[in-house]
Structure 1
Amino acid sequence: MFKKPLSSLKTSAPLKSSDRRKLKQRVITAYGISSEDGDLLVPDGILSVKFITHLNEPGTAYLAPEGDPLWFTVGKGADGELIPTTYTLWKKGDILPFLSTPSAVIPVLIGGADLMIPGVIHHTPSLNEGQLVAIRQYTRQDGKPTLSPPLAVGRMALPSDRLREGGQEKGKAVIIVHTWKDNLWDMGSKSDMPEGTVLQPRASEDAEGSGDEAEDSDAGAPPVSVVAEDDAIVPPSEEETSTSATSPTPSYTAQEITELLNKSILQVLSTTLASAPLSTFPIPATLFYTNYVLPSRPAFPTLIIPPSSASGSTEASTPDQPLHIDPQEINIKTSTHKSLTAFLKSVEKASLISLKTPQKHSQQTELVVTSVNAKNPSVIRHSPYVTVKDLELKAAKRAAREEKEKESQQGTGEIEIKELWKPHQTSLELFEGMGGNKSTLYTLTEIKSLINEYIASHNLVNAREQAYINLDNLFLSCIVSKSKGKSKGEEPANVPEFMKRDELTKKVVEKMQSWYEVRADGKDLVCKKGSLKPIQVVIKVRQGRKASTLITGFEPFLVLDADEMAEDLRKACAGATSVSPIFGKPANSGMEVLIQGKQGKAVTEYLTAKGIPKKWIEVMDISGKK
């Protein structure tokens, strides 16, 4: 719902004391919380702001005094259902039941996809279709199953008992309405995520005498621990969960973790870095570990190295139920090395990489990887496997495909308009250097993707400020204009050293040639050079004090004919209409449709019914107020 920016965002205004009390009472009643918790979640000084989503749905958001969105409603009317945001759920996580999902699924949800049934690991009991739920990330930290704070809010697409029906592997589990890092969340302070909650194994029911001690041990736990201890939190695909209380869960030893990390090194050297250009290096140690080693961990590690602790366990792998251990367990802290420096030095000792130690009094404080040895016999003998990155990319593609199918099934009837850009003049060299084609027409998304890939492959992210990009000669040759009068080879003044990513993308796009593409049912595709301008609907006074509405600039949109539009609007507006060349413009500049009266709303409804997207209709009233 908030994957795209909100429109018509009004200025926030503080609620009156009486309205704040009403809102607090609605929250207390809807979520069954105490008056004290109501004061926490509906604080004094709370603000309200109205908005419209990209689906053209009106809504209201309620903001904390510091600006964090706490609640929102969607739909007409002030009494719509109050939905908590992730900021609110981070304060009190137990006001909604939850489902958990692997870490690889969370970026897909943030991208706008719904949670599918195969992605559900745990769920609270007796969830009804349409019920609001929170989504948490399930990981293993130091061998312990852990749930993150709520990262998304949605509605159940089906009752929870159907999640456990055998053989059902397709379909949606939760329709997502709001996520961490979406455009609603971005309105707030973007605070750091709180720590997760460790799932404690359920004690056997005959151990009732230790109940008080259990309560005392959890007295300092965050609110989510209360939910995590619920008896019905079970994986939907497992028939027997009591075995986890009587039999230890198989896990890797520190030595086995080290072996898997070594496998990850061999994987990345035989694939991603096998033919990496020299400009890729040097790579700081932390970036090498984060961007290359961790994504190359096996997605199904037990197929690569079976854990020794699985022998004799009731959870050992079987043909019908293969043993799976979360790849997140594979990290430096759980290995024999314990530190990244020790791990990389052992890899260097095996002649797989070359390291450089920072000199004394140097600004560089960490090891850097200066080169890799992809011809090492161990790398050549390595058998590739499915990695964590492979699964994440596959999940992202599947989510994008499902979203595209969903949009096509909805069939809005809108004509398809694409803004395109072509490499031109100073941007030609940059696109060739980024692996692009100087003859290709690119969308803004494709331009961003090329720039991001180039930045990642050349390690241009600023080490001190991650939000900034270091500008190399290729970027500078594109975005820096040469001053007149400078001799050849002389550097222009005030050359920037770094720039924010969005600003850099904007500068590159400004150096490109604008094109546009219009596609409509039953019409030939039109692709032209230049910027496409919105249809102008101008209300002005003509002939004394009579107001008229003039429509111009509609010809590029294919589905509109001047004479037909004039006739249709004459009937719709019950007023006189006329068609003529645009006054004061050269011949063949287009036609102008005139309607008597202030008909901005009627014209907008007519154009949208014809398939013109609202963003391509610009209404201006210059008739003056009466």
Structure 2
Amino acid sequence: MFKKPLGNLKTSAPLRNSERKKLKQRVSSSFSIQNEDSDVLVPEGILSVKFSTHLNELGVAYLAPEGNPLWFTIGKGSEDLIPTVYTLWKSPKLLPFLSTPKAVVPILVGGADLMIPGVVHHTSNLSQGQLVSVCKYERCDGIPTLSSPLAVGRMAVSSDQLVDGGKEKGKAVLVLHTWKDHLWGLGSKEEPPADVPIQTGANTAGSTEDTDESQDQPASVNSVTESLEDLSTNDRRSSGPKDHGNVQSSQNVTYTYTPDEVSTLLYKSLLQALATSLSNLQPSSFPITSTVFNTSHILPSRPNFPSLVLLPSAASGIVVDPREIDIDPREISIKSSSYKSLTAFLKSADKAGLITTKAPSKNSGSSDLFITSVNPKHLDVERHKPYVTLGEVEAKSAKKAKREEMAEKEREREKTGLDVQELWKPHGPSVGVFEAMGASLSNLYSLHEIRELIDAYITSQDLVNKYERAYINLDPTLLSCVSAKSQGKSKKGAEDNAQQEVEFMRRDELMIKIVDKMQSWYGVVAEGKEMVTKKGQIKPIDVTTKVRQGRKACTLITGFEPFHIDADEMSEDLRKVCAGATSVSPIPGRPAGSGMEVLVQGKQGKAVVDYLLGKGVPKKWIEAHDRAGKK
């Protein structure tokens, strides 16, 4: 909600004593806290400031005297108070919470909602729509830790859909505000308190020892972890048997790879690259420097879930689910391997027959090897079992983020853009139908309104065919309209024959016939202005790139006047955007007053379309044509 800067930010003003008392009462009643405790959360000198989000939602933020936002509301006149992360850092158990892995937190900060598979723990008995906080769950040196709340949102589902065997896809929390967003940025931008160790009370091994351990939890962290009392203690990502005496929970153990195991994983990464990206390279792509070879092919081919490819030796002899072993694939690097240097690793691969390398010339001043060829038909490559790579996951995430960004831009453009409506007015043969319907003959109607009037008339006159309900029986009024002679038909007998032959018609066809007999109009509504209607059929703006005067390409724009775009203003804007000459002139070959033509030098079709979209013109009302051909 606050991933973009706040708009219409007014000057903050201190609350009067009476207003502060009311705010304290709202906090006390909404969050069941003592009145004296609310003094910390609603301090003396608290300020209020009005703002709007990038979605044009109105809101009010309440700021501490030092400027940190403590509470906010969304919606005009809303009484629904929502605490900020600054407030939750003062009172971590103010809201029930969910925990999520460290890797998910940057995604939430980027504006995404928390998905169900990303929930590790959660407070019990959560209802849909309930306010919750989101904390980071991480294991540091084998000790599970929990951060202070880093996000605030509303439950998208109830907590019974988060347990094992429940719904495993979809959104868990609709995030409203996060650490590092623009609401947080109004304050001091301080970092959250340090993570604290917790005792999960997990009983995955079927023993009761954890209960005793939880009693030894340090008192200094009780203020943060007291809300764990009602926590759903089982890690949701575990899907294995629950009652194996020799099962060890990976939550309490940190697994790492030995240098030899890292070397094995790097070798598998090279095999993965040879089986995929390197196998498609043309011979002309070589030679490749070792640095580029490593960063472009080997590193992206590292397994995204290393434990599924190679189980750490530390887990040998223990029945453990590999999916529970959380090892960052980025830790698989040359420095962590037994090779220690990229050159040694590549020479080893050369010796194995996977690649061919060449040392740099003595005069080049470079220490990078050159890879001159690869062998994707090597026996090890053919035996290699493919897996999900780190590069694939990162590329998918980047693609999704880009799609969401483009969708957000499109939503903003639609919200602030022009509203173009096609309208029709009763005219000629259709007048009799609208008189029979009891509708005004001077009004302009949209397709939806025309359809509603026709449906109401059909129902009132009981015109649905009893034998074929998809058809409508035509009474004299409808028959007179749909059978009326169109322009261009001159024989009188054709109309009489049509009236004799047509007795019924499909509903959608009847609609088309009636609209065809009406007069076309259109309306364009600019933001903050009333609709301007004009007679005629609106046509898309034409953006055509063609060659003029020999080999000089130019881009011509016509038909923009109905969309409230001034020719001279657009010409000047495009001159700056396209960094080229522009001109305005009457459309050649058309009568005076038919409109203007804006010419932009060069092939600027895309730039012009982007400009028109930025002016609020819907995409469906822009037609781009490239008739310049290739140079």
- Name the CA shift for 1:221/1:49 in 2 (closer, same or farther; >3 Å): same
**Is residue 3–residue 111 contact of structure 1 (8 Å, CA) maintained in 2?**
yes
Counterpart residue number, 2:306: 301
Code of the aligned partner of 1:130: G
Q: Distance in 1 between matches of 2:103 and 2:232?
A: 24
- 1:254-403 alignment to 2 at 5 Å? 254-256=256-258, 259-260=261-262, 263=265, 267=269, 298-311=303-316, 313-316=318-321, 323-328=323-328, 331=331, 346-347=340-341, 350-351=344-345, 371=368, 385-388=387-390, 390-398=392-400, 401=403
1:96 partnered with 2:100: no
Code of the aligned partner of 1:53: T
Aligned to 2:340, what secondary structure does the other structure show? helix
Counterpart residue number, 2:22: 22
Cα shift at 1:28: 2.8
1:121 partnered with 2:120: yes
Aligned to 1:350, what secondary structure does the other structure show? helix
- 1:203-602 alignment to 2 at 5 Å? 214-215=214-215, 217-221=217-221, 223-236=223-236, 238=238, 247-250=247-250, 253-256=255-258, 259-260=261-262, 263=265, 267=269, 298-311=303-316, 313-316=318-321, 323-328=323-328, 331=331, 346-347=340-341, 350-351=344-345, 371=368, 385-388=387-390, 390-398=392-400, 401=403, 415=417, 523-524=539-540, 558-560=562-564
Counterpart residue number, 2:44: 44
- Name the CA shift for 1:310/1:263 in 2 (closer, same or farther; >3 Å): closer
1:195 partnered with 2:194: yes
Q: Distance in 2 between matches of 1:68 and 1:293?
A: 46
- Name the CA shift for 1:392/1:101 in 2 (closer, same or farther; >3 Å): farther
Code of the aligned partner of 2:340: S
**Is residue 351–residue 373 contact of structure 1 (8 Å, CA) maintained in 2?**
no
Give the CA RMSD over aligned residues: 5.3
Q: Distance in 2 between matches of 1:373 and 1:140?
A: 41
Cα shift at 1:525: 5.1
- Name the CA shift for 1:300/1:183 in 2 (closer, same or farther; >3 Å): same
Count of equivalent residues: 413
Q: Which deviates more, 195-204 or 178-187?
A: 195-204
Q: Distance in 2 between matches of 1:373 and 1:198?
A: 48
Code of the aligned partner of 1:248: Q
Aligned to 2:328, what secondary structure does the other structure show? helix
- Name the CA shift for 1:201/1:233 in 2 (closer, same or farther; >3 Å): closer
Q: Distance in 1 between matches of 2:37 and 2:290?
A: 52
Q: Deviations over 1:24-59 (max 9, x none)?
A: 332233223345543333333322111011222111
**Is residue 261–residue 312 contact of structure 2 (8 Å, CA) maintained in 1?**
no
Code of the aligned partner of 2:89: W
Counterpart residue number, 1:471: none
Cα shift at 1:74: 0.8
Q: Distance in 2 between matches of 1:210 and 1:164?
A: 21
Cα shift at 1:8: 0.7
TM-score, length-normalised on structure 1? 0.52
Counterpart residue number, 1:579: none
- Name the CA shift for 1:558/1:304 in 2 (closer, same or farther; >3 Å): farther
Code of the aligned partner of 1:394: K
**Is residue 121–residue 231 contact of structure 2 (8 Å, CA) maintained in 1?**
no
Q: Distance in 2 between matches of 1:147 and 1:309?
A: 25
Q: Distance in 1 between matches of 2:12 and 2:244?
A: 51
Cα shift at 1:3: 2.0
**Is residue 259–residue 337 contact of structure 2 (8 Å, CA) maintained in 1?**
no
Q: Deviations over 1:401-437 (max 9, x none)?
A: 46767997999575489xxxxxxxxxxxxxxxxxxxx
Q: Deviations over 1:261-287 (max 9, x none)?
A: 7735984996999999999989xxxxx
Cα shift at 1:90: 2.4
- Name the CA shift for 1:142/1:524 in 2 (closer, same or farther; >3 Å): farther
**Is residue 53–residue 59 contact of structure 2 (8 Å, CA) maintained in 1?**
yes
- Name the CA shift for 1:40/1:393 in 2 (closer, same or farther; >3 Å): farther
Counterpart residue number, 1:31: 31
Code of the aligned partner of 2:563: V
- Name the CA shift for 1:279/1:57 in 2 (closer, same or farther; >3 Å): farther
**Is residue 123–residue 234 contact of structure 1 (8 Å, CA) maintained in 2?**
no
Aligned to 2:76, what secondary structure does the other structure show? coil
**Is residue 123–residue 235 contact of structure 1 (8 Å, CA) maintained in 2?**
no
**Is residue 58–residue 75 contact of structure 1 (8 Å, CA) maintained in 2?**
yes
Cα shift at 1:148: 2.9
Q: Distance in 1 between matches of 2:256 and 2:237?
A: 29
Counterpart residue number, 2:179: 180
Aligned to 2:133, what secondary structure does the other structure show? strand
Counterpart residue number, 2:158: 159
Counterpart residue number, 1:475: none
Cα shift at 1:114: 2.0
TM-score, length-normalised on structure 2? 0.52
**Is residue 306–residue 329 contact of structure 2 (8 Å, CA) maintained in 1?**
no
Q: Distance in 2 between matches of 1:216 and 1:7?
A: 49
Q: Distance in 2 between matches of 1:90 and 1:253?
A: 31
Specify every segment of 5 or more residues in structure 2 that has no aligned partner in the other structure, as ranges. 348-365, 420-525, 527-536, 546-558, 567-591, 597-614, 619-631
Q: Distance in 2 between matches of 1:557 and 1:6?
A: 34
- Name the CA shift for 1:127/1:406 in 2 (closer, same or farther; >3 Å): farther
Counterpart residue number, 2:468: none
- Name the CA shift for 1:229/1:376 in 2 (closer, same or farther; >3 Å): farther
- Name the CA shift for 1:225/1:349 in 2 (closer, same or farther; >3 Å): farther
Cα shift at 1:350: 3.1
Code of the aligned partner of 1:524: P
**Is residue 352–residue 376 contact of structure 1 (8 Å, CA) maintained in 2?**
no
Cα shift at 1:524: 2.7
- Name the CA shift for 1:71/1:313 in 2 (closer, same or farther; >3 Å): same
**Is residue 15–residue 46 contact of structure 1 (8 Å, CA) maintained in 2?**
yes
Q: Distance in 1 between matches of 2:389 and 2:123?
A: 30
Cα shift at 1:93: 1.9
Q: Distance in 1 between matches of 2:396 and 2:320?
A: 28
- Name the CA shift for 1:301/1:329 in 2 (closer, same or farther; >3 Å): closer
Cα shift at 1:65: 2.4
Q: Deviations over 1:515-567 (max 9, x none)?
A: xxx9xx975356699xxxxxxxxxxxxxxxxxxxxxxxxx95853599xxxxx
- Name the CA shift for 1:253/1:233 in 2 (closer, same or farther; >3 Å): closer
Counterpart residue number, 1:56: 56
Percentage of pairs with the same residue: 45
- Name the CA shift for 1:122/1:257 in 2 (closer, same or farther; >3 Å): farther
Specify every segment of 5 or more residues in structure 1 that has no aligned partner in the other structure, as ranges. 283-287, 318-322, 354-368, 418-517, 530-554, 563-586, 592-609, 614-626
Cα shift at 1:7: 1.0
Code of the aligned partner of 2:63: L
